[in-house]
Amino acid sequence: MKHGIYIANYAVGGGPSSFVQLAVEAERAGWDGFFIWDHIYPDPQEIKNVTDPWITLAGIAASTDSIRLGTTVTPLPRRRPQKVAREVASLDRLSGGRFTLGVGLGGSEPECAPFGEETDTKVLAEMLDESLEILRGLWSGREFTFHGTHYSIDGVTFRPRPKQKTVPIWCAGTWPLKAPFRRAARYEGVFPLGLHEYLTPEDFVDIRKYIDRYRTKESVYDVVDVVRTEDPDDTQWIPELSEAGVTWLAEVVMEQDLKMVLERVKKGPVNL
């Protein structure tokens, strides 16, 4: 079981330097990962300051040595896949091969409608699948051509390749909807969320069984659970999640008070 900080990109005042400070302290305290949300325009009535996770992660990559880092999750259909491919390759090299890419539909209509972006989830799903195929093709370091419904690429070669042979991709999905989990089975991990509430160990057993039906290769596969812990010594609930197939616990952080968040981060993950 690994433990990561899963922080909103509007937390701690939305200042990039605060996120870098937190990531450095997280590495010192023994956390395994530091993952930033990728929102462009969260609720403007409630949230005033928002950091760009990609620029911030570059600062984190340059300021840390071992902690895994990434976005959870990037609304890939709202990005140009060729730009994301270049950004991921650069961050993976800058970090020495520590980048994980979380992806999802980006289906929040209030966040995208003001910009005139697509809101149809069926279209977004098509764009997501095509974008993921493009990422893999561009990361290969070989000439790549792609012609889909939404994207077209002719004879392009991207170099340098990412540092990792395979950049882990975690696909988000809302359980018990099934299509996102069939997609996730094709990649390196799944970031499940509950439709109305937190998922239970029984949910994770079902998720893992469902994904295993569609897995086509034997390899390490990550299942992420979003959690909220106050006491690092409260560990009695961990074994059940581990037995259910969870491999990462993502400690959610949304508070604005940097001092309070630092105190929690410095306590470290739950003690097993």
Which CATH number is 83's domain given? 3.20.20.30
Largest distance between two CA atoms of the chain: 55
Q: What is the pLDDT of residue 112?
A: 84
User: What span, in angstroms and rounded, lies between the C-alpha atoms of 114 and 111?
Assistant: 7
Instruction: Go through the chain and tell me how many residues it has.
Output: 272
Contacts of residue 220, defined as CB under 8 A and 6 or more positions apart, other chains included, come to 188
Please say whether the beta carbons of 199 and 175 come within 8 A.
yes
Q: Which of 50, 52, 97 is nearest to 74 (CA)?
A: 52
Q: Which residue has the tokens 């561009």?
A: 138
Is the residue at 251 inside a domain? yes
Which pLDDT score, from 0 to 100, does residue 108 have?
A: 74
Three-state DSSP at 225 gives: strand
pLDDT average per 10 residues of sequence, the chain (272 residues)? 97 97 99 97 88 98 99 96 99 99 87 88 97 99 98 98 98 96 98 90 97 90 93 84 97 97 95 64
| Residue 62 and residue 56 in contact, taking contact as beta carbons nearer than 8 Å | no
Q: Looking at the 3D structure of the chain, how many domains does it have?
A: 1
Query: Which class for 82: exposed (0-12), middle (13-18), buried (19 or more C-beta within 10 A)?
Result: middle
Q: Token pair 């439709």 is at which residue?
A: 195
Q: Supply the pLDDT for residue 232.
A: 75
Measured CA to CA, the distance from residue 1 to residue 223 in angstroms comes to 10
- What pLDDT shows up at residue 106? 81
Mention every residue, 6+ apart, whose C-beta is less than 8 A from residue 115. 40, 41
Residue 241 forms part of a structural domain? yes
Distance of alpha carbon 69 from alpha carbon 91, whole angstroms: 9
Q: Can you give the residue range of the structural domain that contains 18?
A: 2-267
pTM of the predicted protein model: 0.96
Q: Is residue 157 included in any domain, yes or no?
A: yes
* Residue 33 maps to a domain: yes
| 54-60 long-range Cβ contacts below 8 angstroms, 24+ apart | 54/87, 54/91, 55/16, 56/9, 56/16, 56/19, 56/20, 57/91, 57/99, 58/90, 58/91, 58/94, 59/16, 59/17, 59/19, 59/20, 60/19, 60/20, 60/23, 60/24, 60/34
Residue 13 domain-assigned (yes or no): yes
162 in a domain, yes or no? yes
Residue 52 has a pLDDT of 98
Within-domain flag for 116: yes
Report if residue 272 sits inside a domain.
no
Residue 107 has what pLDDT? 67
